[in-house]
Structure 1
Amino acid sequence: MTAELAIDVAGLTKSFGPKRVVDNFDIRVPRGAIYGFLGPNGSGKTTTIRMLCGLLTPDAGEGTCLGLDVRREASRIKAEVGYMTQRFSLYEDLSIRENLEFVARMYELDRRRQRVDAALAELGLADRARQLAGTLSGGWKQRLALAACLLHEPRLLLLDEPTAGVDPKARRDFWDEIRRLSGRGVTVLVSTHYMDEAVQCDYIAYIAYGRKLIDGPAAQIARQVGLVTYRVEGPELAALAERLQREPGVEQVARFGAALHVSGTDAAVLEGTVRRYAAAAASDQHWSLQPAGLEEAFIYLMAGARDNFSAATPPRRSS
């Protein structure tokens, strides 16, 4: 990455008691980029985000966020960051406007009324300004939370699973707003479980059990993993999936709607297996080679990751 970096950290580590929650984490995020964190619950995403924005002090590691040292200048970082938590954290017994006015006073902002009015208009909240926050739907609470994050004009937004529990229309509207902010030079770091959101990110980092498995431009992740994927459609897919998992070259079989995605990293061996099955298949079963996507890469990486909270052996890659 040659662009100016908003975040540049290496070796970040954090433990709670005997459990290492984040293990030697590094990341470099260009200014104005949308950087997606993907990983299961308990993978360390939230702890990492809190270290980056100055809410937690790393046990080890170093680096900068917005040009400020993550260990020594945490208070200055917090003043430049908008952090949207997983759970709605504003006051439900206050109105939308009252919540925003409270946040503006907490930040000791000037031009408080103008800032609040602008936030209400920008996020489409003006007509609901008097409505109590506790009566809002998930999508409107999300808009309010984002408006509160933006009042002090942060240079970096840290969004921790911001669209969990909201409807698809609200999610689309939210991402339109994120793209607009990125276009203005605001850097966005967002954790998500949704693959349709991951593809909207400029960069992706896969995190599992406190460790970064891979990162890079979103369009290149599947190629970095090295997966070759075939799609098969037709009858009796469940029985086919069982047989394929024992075949040479097949490292992963995953169901995607009315099709199976059959993947492996040895293209020649996998092709031999596919040719054999395709030749023996019924006429209504169709095989085709397709580019591996983010979801196939995510399943593959997660199946090979070892849970640092468990001594269990990782399962075979199938889904």
Structure 2
Amino acid sequence: MNNVPGHAVEVRGLRVRRGSTEVFRGLDFDIPRGQITGLMGPSGSGKTTLMRAIVGVQKVAGGTVAVLGSPAGTAAQRRRVAYDTQAASVYGDLTIEQNLRYFARVIGAPRSDVRRVIEKVGLEGQAKQTVDSLSGGQESRVSLAVAMLGAPELIVLDEPTVGLDPVLRAELWDMFRGISETGATILVSSHVMDEALRCDRLILLRAGRIIADTTPQGLIADTGETDPDAAFLALIERDATGAAEHPPSTRREAREEPGG
């Protein structure tokens, strides 16, 4: 595990609203450099909205988000931060190589990066195939390859393993670890709790609030559970008990958002 000094992301007092719904009401947390941080939580907990705020494409109502030492979304970060969304981020009628050449031009990455990232994700044999002809796992690798163009310092991945079988998920996580070991910081969201054990650090969200900012070892030790699903359920029960004891008017929280 890398121990690069400082934080890749610093969030203070983050507030986000969607219409009359307050998604976040004052989030505070840091993401260490050179590590894999897992953003875990059920659907609707706010994971996607938080990632969008970090890459600078989400309108915020208050607070600050600093990424690699600058405000989120600044022009200087375009080559330093990569964002792989849940929706397909590649063109199905183009080959893997054509997709990567296009995105390399968009971000100003060197042409040599195309071959490098294709090899990194293990798709040399499929480089001339269209994305539509690939399996779901291979398509996920293409999206990851796009995110790796230009050697970004922070890679934000929104549920990249959703819908994949356990073998393919394990292969992708091995790739994430390999990328992290080069010094990059990875923020990856998931609602599959067994993936929490593959992270260096964990941020667990529920209904727009952080209910734990810990490590996999800390999660297990804090709850006394060996199964990550059981550990998360224990945290939810603890959080619910706290909510009953402290009404919303006295707590910093947010209502659950649709999606994310």
Normalised by the length of structure 1, the TM-score is 0.71
Instruction: Give 2:103's aligned residue.
Output: 103
The alpha carbon displacement at 1:217 in A equals 1.7
1:197 aligns with 2:195: yes
SS at match of 1:199: helix
Instruction: Give 1:43's aligned residue.
Output: 45
CA distance in 2, matches of 1:24, 1:293: 30
CA distance in 1, matches of 2:187, 2:113: 24
Q: Which runs of 5+ in 1 are unaligned?
A: 229-290, 311-319
Instruction: Give 2:235's aligned residue.
Output: 301
CA distance in 2, matches of 1:74, 1:308: 29
CA distance in 2, matches of 1:104, 1:189: 22
Instruction: Give 2:175's aligned residue.
Output: 177
Match of 2:162 among 139, 161, 164: 164
Amino acid at match of 1:205: I
Instruction: Give 1:139's aligned residue.
Output: 137
Instruction: Give 1:233's aligned residue.
Output: none
Q: Which moved more, 1:80-89 or 1:296-305?
A: 296-305
SS at match of 2:214: strand
SS at match of 1:48: helix
In 2 relative to 1, CA 2–86 (structure 1 residues): closer, same or farther, beyond 3 Å?
closer
Counterpart contact for 2:194–2:229, Cα < 8 Å: no
Amino acid at match of 1:294: P
Counterpart contact for 2:208–2:256, Cα < 8 Å: no
The alpha carbon displacement at 1:292 in A equals 4.4
Instruction: Give 1:88's aligned residue.
Output: 88
Amino acid at match of 2:30: R
Instruction: Give 2:12's aligned residue.
Output: 10
CA distance in 2, matches of 1:37, 1:93: 32
Amino acid at match of 1:201: C
Structure 1 segments of 4 or more deviating over 6 A? Answer: none
The alpha carbon displacement at 1:97 in A equals 0.6
Counterpart contact for 1:54–1:77, Cα < 8 Å: no
Instruction: Give 1:118's aligned residue.
Output: 116
Percent of aligned pairs with the same amino acid:
36
Counterpart contact for 2:46–2:256, Cα < 8 Å: no
In 2 relative to 1, CA 120–2 (structure 1 residues): closer, same or farther, beyond 3 Å?
closer
CA distance in 2, matches of 1:17, 1:123: 40
CA distance in 2, matches of 1:190, 1:41: 14
Amino acid at match of 1:197: E
The alpha carbon displacement at 1:2 in A equals 9.6
- Specify the structure having the higher radius of gyration (Cα): 1
Q: How many residues in Structure 1 have an aligned counterpart in Structure 2? A: 242
CA distance in 1, matches of 2:218, 2:113: 40
Amino acid at match of 1:43: S
Normalised by the length of structure 2, the TM-score is 0.87
Amino acid at match of 2:180: S
The alpha carbon displacement at 1:28 in A equals 1.0
CA distance in 2, matches of 1:188, 1:51: 15
CA distance in 1, matches of 2:166, 2:92: 23
The alpha carbon displacement at 1:98 in A equals 0.6
SS at match of 1:79: coil
CA distance in 2, matches of 1:78, 1:9: 19
Amino acid at match of 1:308: R
Instruction: Give 2:186's aligned residue.
Output: 188
Between the two structures, name the one with larger relative contact order (CA 8 Å, sep ≥ 6).
Answer: 2
SS at match of 1:221: helix
Q: Which runs of 5+ in 2 are unaligned?
A: 244-253
